[in-house]
Amino acid sequence: MNEKQNVASVYVVQSDHDAAVGTTVAVLRTWIKEQPTLQVLDYEEPIKDFIELALATHDEEWFAELMERMHEVVQRQENRSSKAPILYSRNRLGRIIN
C-alpha cells in the first residue's frame, strides 16, 4: 500500500471485466474495506465465503487457517443444543439478503 499516494494494489479474483481477473490493479485506499473481525468468523457461512476467496487466490496458508476455524465452528455448533443464526441465504448465483 502506498500511503503517500493513497493507493493500494489489489489482486482481482472476480470481475465483470474478464481480462482483469488474475491481475493486480491499483485502487484508491478508500475503496478497500477492512477485513471482518473474528466475530464474523464465528459462523459457518462467512467462513465459506472466505474459503472460496482463499481458493480463488491460491492462498494455501489462509485456506488451512479457515478450514481449521470451520472445524472449530462446526464442532461448537454440534455441542450446542441450538443452531447458529442464519446470517443470509445463498444459492448458485450468490447471496440472497433476507
Q: What is the pLDDT along the chain (98 residues), one digit of tens a residue?
A: 555 678 888 888 888 888 988 899 988 988 887 766 557 788 888 899 889 989 988 999 999 999 999 999 888 888 775 555 555 555 555 554 44
Report the distance separating Cα 15 and Cα 62, nearest Å: 22
pLDDT of residue 11: 85
Task: Report helix angle 44-56 to 60-79, nearest 10.
Answer: 160
Whether the Cβ atoms of residue 1 and residue 7 lie closer than 8 Å to each other: yes
d(CA 11, CA 23): 6
pLDDT at res. 61: 95
The pLDDT, as a whole number, for residue 98 is 43
Q: What's the CA gap between 46 and 44, in Å, rounded?
A: 6
Q: So what's the pLDDT on residue 83?
A: 57
Note whether 84 and 77 are within 8 A (CB).
yes
* DSSP three-state, residue 85: coil
